[in-house]
Amino acid sequence: MTDRLENVEIRIAYLEQANTELSEVVYKLRQEIEALRAEFATLTQRWEASQSAGTAYTAEQEIPPHY
């Protein structure tokens, strides 16, 4: 009986360790997702701003009418 109890305790210890490691991974992934969401929002805003702003061409960028 003591061997079975010892085996159960060992398994519980491994499960607790695995649970802790998984919790750390989930926490890190959550942080990464939040950072990526913030970066995506910034890039979306910049893209929308560039699309709504009129394009100003300089004389050097303007294509001559004969092209």
User: What Å distances lie between residue 52 and 42, 49, 55, CA to CA?
Assistant: 15, 5, 9
pLDDT digits (tens, 9 = 90+) for 7-55: 999 999 999 999 999 999 999 999 999 999 999 999 999 999 888 866 6
Q: What is the pLDDT of residue 67?
A: 57
Is the residue at 45 inside a domain? yes
Is the residue at 14 inside a domain? yes
**Number of structural domains the chain divides into:** 1
Domain that holds residue 30: 1-51
Q: What is the pLDDT of residue 25?
A: 98
Is the residue at 66 inside a domain? no
Q: Name the pTM for this structure.
A: 0.64
* Alpha carbons 63 and 36: distance in angstroms, whole number: 39
Q: What is the pLDDT of residue 19?
A: 98
Q: What is the pLDDT of residue 63?
A: 73
Residue of 67, 19, 24 lying closest to 32 (CA atoms): 24
Is the residue at 56 inside a domain? no
Q: What is the pLDDT of residue 57?
A: 66
Residue of 23, 24, 20, 45 lying closest to 12 (CA atoms): 20
